[in-house]
Structure formats: C-alpha cells, structure tokens
Amino acid sequence: MNIFVDMLSPSLKTLVMRHIFINTFNENPVFSGETELIDFYIKDIVPYMRQPDDVIMEQGNYPNNFYFIAQGQCQVKIINHNAQTICVPHLLEKDEYFGEIAILFDCKRTATIVSTNYCSFARISREHFL
C-alpha cells in the first residue's frame, strides 16, 4: 500500500488518506468535530499494515511514531519491575490509539503493542505529531 500511496500527488494522497481514516479520527474524542486538526494530521499519515503477532512497538524503545488503529486489534504487554510480562486485559481496537505517552513526555515506550490479527494503522511520525 505504501508504494501505491507514494506514487500519488500530495493532494490526491490527502484525499485517499482522508477517505480511509476519517472515521478513525472522528471516533476519537480528541479529534471528533475538529476538522482543521484532522486536516493538519491527515496530510502526513503513513498507512501501516501488520499481520497477527507482529510487534508494532516495544517497551523501552525510543518513540518515532504515534498510531491510530483503523482495523484490527492489538494486545498491550507490559514488563513489570520483576521482569514478568503482563498482558493488559483490554485489547486496543478500531478507532483507538497508542504511542502518545513516550512522544509527549519524551521518554521510552511504556508498553509493547502486538497485533492479534491483521491490522491497519494510521501512523504519524513524532515530528508531525508534535
């Protein structure tokens, strides 16, 4: 999909990304009804697809991206102070997001996110997010 998107003109890319991800943004309480804010971020989205059991981001790494889930589900895993991996019982689903904490607070990732099925994401780079 990225190869296809890279061949598009910037204005057509924005229209395609808007079509694919507009519901994801509108379902999010931060962006809902904020047309100018949505337009600001949509032009810089990179579509990102993953298979089941792919690691999307890993706890302890430095952040590069913020993610919106457009389709699919992801498991949150946290390594505690005893080096035990704990799976958070809530699955992240369509229209939810992750990756903002480490970017906003300029710290390492606080959790590992793993896809549980085929997933598509709107990925926004750190530079465009801030």
Structural domains of the chain sorted by starting position, each given as residue range(s) with its CATH number in brackets = 2-129 (2.60.120.10)
Q: Sign of torsion, CA 107 118 121 11?
A: positive
Q: Average pLDDT of 24-39?
A: 82
pLDDT of the residue at 2 = 62
Q: Are 117 and 72 in contact (CB under 8 A)?
A: yes
Q: Average pLDDT of 18-31?
A: 82
Q: Are 103 and 63 in contact (CB under 8 A)?
A: yes
Selected residue with higher pLDDT from 57 and 23: 57
Selected residue with higher pLDDT from 50 and 18: 50
Strands 74-79 and 85-87, by their bridges, are antiparallel
Closest CA to 118 of 77, 73, 88: 73
What pLDDT digit, counting tens, does each position of 65-98 carry? 889 898 999 999 998 888 888 878 789 998 888 9
pLDDT of the residue at 73 = 95
